[in-house]
Every structure is written in structure tokens, then in C-alpha cells.
Amino acid sequence: MTRDSDDPPARRRFLVQGAAAAAALVGGRARADEAAPPAIPDWMKTPGADVGSQTYGTPSRFEADVIRNVPKGLKQYTSASSRTPLQDLDGILTPNGLFYERHHGGIPDIDPARHRLMIHGLVEAPLILTMDDIRRFPSESHIYFLECSGNPGFEAIKGKTASDLVGLVSCAEWTGVRLATVLREAGLKPEAQWVVAEGADAAALTRSIPIDKCLDDALLVYSQNGERLRPQQGYPLRVLLPGFEGNMNVKWLRRLNVTAQPAYSREETSKYTDSMPDGTARQFTFVMEAKSIITRPSGTQRIAPGFHEITGIAWSGRGRIRGVQVTTDAGRTWQEAALQEPVLTRALTRFRLPWTWNGQPTTLMSRAIDETGYVQPSFSDLTAVRGLKSFYHNNATIPWRIAGSGEVSNGYA
Amino acid sequence: MAMRNARALAAASLLLALAGAARAAERYGLGRPATDAEIAAWDIDIDRDGRKLPPGSGSVAQGRTVFEAQCAACHGARGEGGVGDPLVGGQGSLASAKPLKTVGSFWPYAPTLFDYIRRAMPMNAPESLSADEVYAVSAYILNLNGLVPDEAVLDARALAAVRMPNRDGFVPDPRPDVR
């Protein structure tokens, strides 16, 4: 679940800026004084790498530890997930290579020239579309978050980093065609109420989408952050349902079956339903409710007394983030954080709050409020209603404990 | 003058409205028709009532053979779970402190078992089992859960007739539920 805790990268352990920290950052590679004044750095004394030496650019080798958070020791990795390293990222857009993953039958290797989308069921004219066909429809681009519904679960919230806790959320600019456009091309019959989407993966994963969502803001997406979808995110075509739980955003989309009733597939009966204390399970729990997390300072980092900008991300499946409040005294008082523009509906929103740490142990926490007035709940308020067995849709506030040493750790652990 | 402008504006608005309506109904003429045979070949969705279950049948005994060859390595010799989810047991546990969610205790509709096994199992070779094999292994899993007798033979009609214990255990989403 976590990175090797006995060997945390230097850049995580020290957020302290200054000459001593800079020396620590480059320790083992070069002596710090060879680049600091009055010395002239080596990299200025000879030409750098040629133009085009990387035909698809990759991050600096000094960023090699900013990678997906892949859980260790799982029984299998065909149906599993990996997390976005939220604590290492800035802004609101997730780089495509760091976007979280959740697959149910592995990642298929699809040739887009041979891929087909079939639309059938309660339509006037069943259709087969190629990727070339789909890209000829009028397109749109929007920035939306995507979040796994189990992010995190309700029990054993023992992760160390922000990524361990809620790394199953990412955000991108998506480009594609309105699902409504494609459904109208086939012509919906009056009794059409649901659309069952199927992936072309080895799980042939199916989820049922209510027709209102299909005709509202749902997209059939072929590009992410300006380039074609990555295989991990559904190449060459996926469903994108703004604000709805990740599993419904079917990847590798190959079939849309328009129906009067939901499919009641395995993924919407035995999985992705929320068990309540009375033994019932909530079904069709689509929307991801408002949530936030402080990503800096956050777990496994170490801070020094003095100034820090607290920053993090907030999001809501119901619309825009109206505000984020931050406590630096374990919930006794709350301050309004500044929201970084753009503040977009159903997208990650970056918040910031200046803070001077006095060196005393404390707990930091953020809570999001969305445009409907909904306030992100505490874990105790949430579990008082839902118990501990619902697994999905835990959107409780995340406390970070600050020790006198400056060590930041999970307030749940 | 003002009157003429107003009339012109009204006419222009009407034209715009008509254009909008035309656009809403517009088809782009992209793609090609899907034939009934093509749809039949790809559409493997089985609804909860099992109306689209295919021809074929399988017995509990046949299912045991299929299960031991194809399923037991991950789900355990008698469906108790392993690398894969537990499939058996847990009836009566859902309201307890340790709910065990299995086919027998949690799944609301028996036809979904056919749908899921056919599309996704076994994990290393999905869509490799024949319809008879899927009926058989469904029968065996239901039998392990005490939901069909040892001598049961399931086909479309018989599978759809199996009433699952947790059929009525699902409720709609009441959120926002925490204030």
C-alpha cells in the first residue's frame, strides 16, 4: 500500500528550504558547493542534450520517485488499483502517466483501427461506429475529476501519504463527443431509460447509466490532456460521467445497449453497492460527494517551524466548490482558504492558506463546501449514519497530525 | 421603422428557432447500420429476469467438474475464496459486525451469475466457457449455497426461477444523508 517506509526519498522528508536542505537534495550526486555561488554549475559549461533527443519527453531524472503508488503484495494485479501521488503534484491537472488506475480484467491493447462501438437496444437505427466516425462528430473539451468510489474504504485507514489515503482521484481535460449526440444519431425510442455501457476489456465490464445523465453532460472521450487516452484510461474510447463514481466511466467502450431497466450487472449489485448497518445495501449510489485533502504538508513529510503555505485539493460531484475551510488547531477554529482559479464544476479545485507553525504538536484538516451548501463531514458524523461496512463513498475529512519534531502523519492511524 | 425592425427581428428569431430545432433532430450520417446478426453476436447482457438467457443447460454434477477445473484454483475447492472472492456462505451475516458478502448471501438475482461468469470468468480465459458449462457452474455455485438441490439441472427457465435470499436487500440512494 505504501512506499518503502524505511527509505523515504529525501525530497519527501525535507520541505525545509535553504542551503542545508539543498545540499541534502543533491547529496550523493555532486558536492553542493560546485553549483552554488561563487562556482558556476557544471551544466552551464557544456551544451546540453540535443533537440529531439527525447521524441516523447519524460520528467527530469531527479523526479524519478514521482510515480504511481502501486500497492505491494496483492494476491493478483489483474483486478486492482494504483494511486496518483497527490502529495507531489501542483495545480489541478493530473499528468496522464500519473492518473490513477482501476482495472477489473487488466489493460487491453486495442488497435483503434479495429475497434468498433455498437449502439443498439431501444434505438430507431442500431449503429456501428469506427473511431474515425466518432471523431467526426462535433466535440467538446472539459476539465473534470474522476474518482474511484472506494477512496478510501471505511476500515483500517492506515495509509501514510495523501496518495495512500485518497490517491484514487485524478483530474484531466477530456475531449470527446457528447453521449447525447451519438444516442440521437441512433435515435432514442420513447421507452429508453438506461444505457448499459460495456468495455472491451477481459472483464467486459458493464454499468447502467440513467438516461438523464446520458443526455446531460456525459461524454464519449477519446483524448485526455490534449493527447489520445492512455491504455490505462480506456484507449481508444471511454465514457466520462462528470461527478459520478469512477467505475461507471466505462473504459475501452465498445457497446451501448439502450434499455428500459438497469442491467443489474455484477458491478452494480454485488460490487459498488454500499452496505448499511441494518444489512441492506444502497444501490445506484452514483454521485461522489464533496471532499478535500491537504496535500502539503501531508503524511511522511517533515516541516520546520516558521512559514508554510498549506495547500490541497477539493472537489464535488454535485458542482463547484464554494469554499474550503482549514483548521490548524485540531478543529477548534477554522479559517477560509483561498481558492485558486479556475474553480470549475466537478473538477479538482486547488486551495491555499498561509500558516506559520510555532513548533507545537497540532492537527491540520480541511473541509470542503460545495455550491449546493453541502459540507464535507467528519468521519464520526459519516459513520454515525452509515456504519463501518459500506466501503464505498467515504468522503470524510482527513486529519494530519504534526508532531513536535515536525513529522506529519495520518491522524486516523 | 421601429415596427419593421421588430417584424424583421421576429422573423429572424423564428428562423433561428427553426434552425435550432432542425439541429436538434439532425443526424450526421456517420457510421453504418448494425445488423441483427452483429447485435446478437455481441449483445451478451442478461437482465435480472433472465429473459435473454441463451439455450442450453447444465447440472450440479457437471458444474462441479467445471468448477474444479476452472474456478477452484482461485475461489477455493468449495467456493470458500482464495485469490478470488468467496462465493459461498454468509447467509444471515449482512446485518452483523462481520458481513460476508457472497453469491448466496448477497447477490440479488440468479441470472446475473450467468451474465458475469460468461463475460468475465475464468479470469485468465473469459468468454471461453460454453453456455452449457456456464449453466452447470452456476448450478454448482447455487447448490453450494443451498439454493438448488443436488440433482438440479438449470436452463434459462430454471435459473430465472431461482429466488435469491437477498433479492429485496437493496435500497435507493438517500444521499445527502449526513448533515
* Residue A269: CATH number of its domain: 3.90.420.10
C-beta of residue A180 within 8 angstroms of C-beta of residue A218:
yes
Which chain A residues are closer than 8 Å to B28 by Cβ?
Answer: 136-137, 185
Cell of B29: 450520417
pTM over 0.80: yes
Q: How confident is the model at residue A32 (pLDDT cuts 50, 70, 90)?
A: low
**Does residue B31 lie within any of the structural domains?**
no
Domain end marker among A256, A282, A308:
A282
A167 has pLDDT over 90: yes
CA–CA dist B84, B78 (Å, integer): 12
Angle between helices B110-120 and B131-144 (to 10 degrees): 130
Residues in chain A: 413
Query: B5 falls in which pLDDT band (50, 70, 90)?
Result: low
Predicted local confidence at residue B8, as pLDDT: 52
Same domain, A218 and A319: no
Mean pLDDT of A16-35: 52
> Is A313 in the same domain as A362?
yes
Q: What is the band of A332 on the pLDDT scale with cuts at 50, 70, 90?
A: very high
B-chain residue closest to A262, CA distance: B47
Q: What is the ipTM of this complex?
A: 0.89
Domain boundary among A222, A254, A282: A282
Residue A231, preceding peptide bond in cis (omega within 30° of 0): no
* Contact (CB<8Å) B42/A118: yes
Is residue B77 in some structural domain?
yes
Checking if the pLDDT of A329 tops 50, the result is yes
Grid cell locating A176: 470527446
Residues A161 and A302 in one domain: no
CA–CA distance from B36 to each of A16, A120, A126, A204, B47 (Å)?
66, 10, 9, 20, 19
Cβ-defined contact of A118 to B116 (cutoff 8 Å): no
Q: Which of A393, A226, A72, A297 is nearest to A83 (CA)?
A: A72
CA distances from A205 to A80, A189, A270, B123 (A): 14, 25, 13, 12
Q: Is there a single domain that holds both residue A137 and residue A224?
A: yes
The position carrying cell 558556476 is: A40
Report CB contact under 8 Å: A282, B32.
no
A381 contacts on B by Cβ (under 8 Å): 178
Q: Does A80 fall in a domain?
A: no
Q: Which of A283, A121, A123, A133 is nearest to A196 (CA)?
A: A121
Q: Give the residue carrying C-alpha cell 484507449.
A: A235
Rounded CA gap, A133 and A117, in Å?
Answer: 10
Tell me the C-alpha to C-alpha distance, in Å, between residue A21 and each of A112, A404, A405.
48, 19, 16
Same domain flag for A224 and A111? yes
Comparing CA positions, the residue from B140, B148, B146, B104 lying closest to residue B121 is: B140
Mean pLDDT over each residue of chain A, to the nearest integer: 93
Q: Do the domain assignments include residue B11?
A: no
Tell me the mean pLDDT in the region A356-365: 98
Tell how strand A408-410 and strand B32-33 pair up: unpaired
CA dist A365 and A312 (Å) reads: 10
How far is B112 from chain A, CA to nearest CA, in Å? 6
Are the beta carbons of A211 and A192 closer than 8 angstroms?
yes
> Mutate which of A136, A209, A259, A266 to test chain B, going by most B C-beta atoms within 10 A?
A266
Task: Tell me how far apart the 2 most distant CA atoms of chain B are, in Å.
Answer: 91
Which chain B positions have a beta carbon within 8 Å of A261's beta carbon? Answer: 47-48
B156 pLDDT above the threshold of 90: yes
Residue of B nearest to A286 (CA): B173
Residue B51 has which C-alpha cell? 429473459
Q: Do A36 and A165 fall within a single domain?
A: no
The rounded distance, in Å, linking the Cα atoms of A95 and B115 is 36
Most A-contacting residue of B46, B113, B175 (CB-CB within 10 A), to test interface = B175
Tally of domains in chain A = 3
- The reply to whether residue B45 touches residue A126, judged by beta carbons under 8 angstroms, is no
Domain co-membership, A174 together with A111: yes
| CB nearest A275 (choices: B42, B99, B119) | B99
Determine the structural domain holding residue A383 and report its residue range: 291-410
Which triple of cell numbers denotes residue B21? Answer: 430545432
List the CATH number of the domain containing B152: 1.10.760.10
pLDDT of residue B70: 97
Cα(B138)–Cα(B67) distance, integer angstroms: 9
Question: Do residue A235 and residue A358 come from a single domain?
Answer: no
Residues of chain B with C-beta less than 8 angstroms from the C-beta of A265: 45, 112, 115-116
B24 Cα to chain A: minimum distance (Å): 9
Same domain, A398 and A270: no
Residues A150 and A249 in one domain: yes
Question: Considering its fold, how many domains does chain B have in total?
Answer: 1
pLDDT of A363-399, one tens digit each? Answer: 999 999 999 999 999 999 999 999 999 999 999 999 9
State the Cα–Cα distance between residues A272 and A269, nearest whole angstrom. 7
Same domain, yes or no, for A133 and A278? Answer: yes
Domain with B134, as residue range(s), is: 36-161
At B7 the pLDDT is 53
Residue B61 lies in a domain: yes
Residue A251's closest CA among A200, A318, A182, A180? Answer: A200
3-state secondary structure chain B: CHHHHHHHHHHHHHHHHHHHHHHHHCCCCCCEECCHHHHHHHCCCCCCCCCCCCCCCEEHHHHHHHHHHHCHHHHCCCCCCCCCCCCCCCCCCCCCCCCCCCCCCCCCEHHHHHHHHHHHCCCCCCCCCCHHHHHHHHHHHHHHCCCCCCCCEECHHHHHHCECCCCCCEECCCCCCCC
Residues of A in contact with B123 (CB under 8 A): 76, 78-79, 105, 202
CA A73 vs CA A1, A2, A70, A80: distances in Å = 8, 11, 10, 11
Q: Is residue A69 part of a domain?
A: no
Residue A205 and residue A300 share a domain? no
Judge whether A55 lies within some domain.
no
Q: Which residues of B touch A220 (CB under 8 A)?
A: none
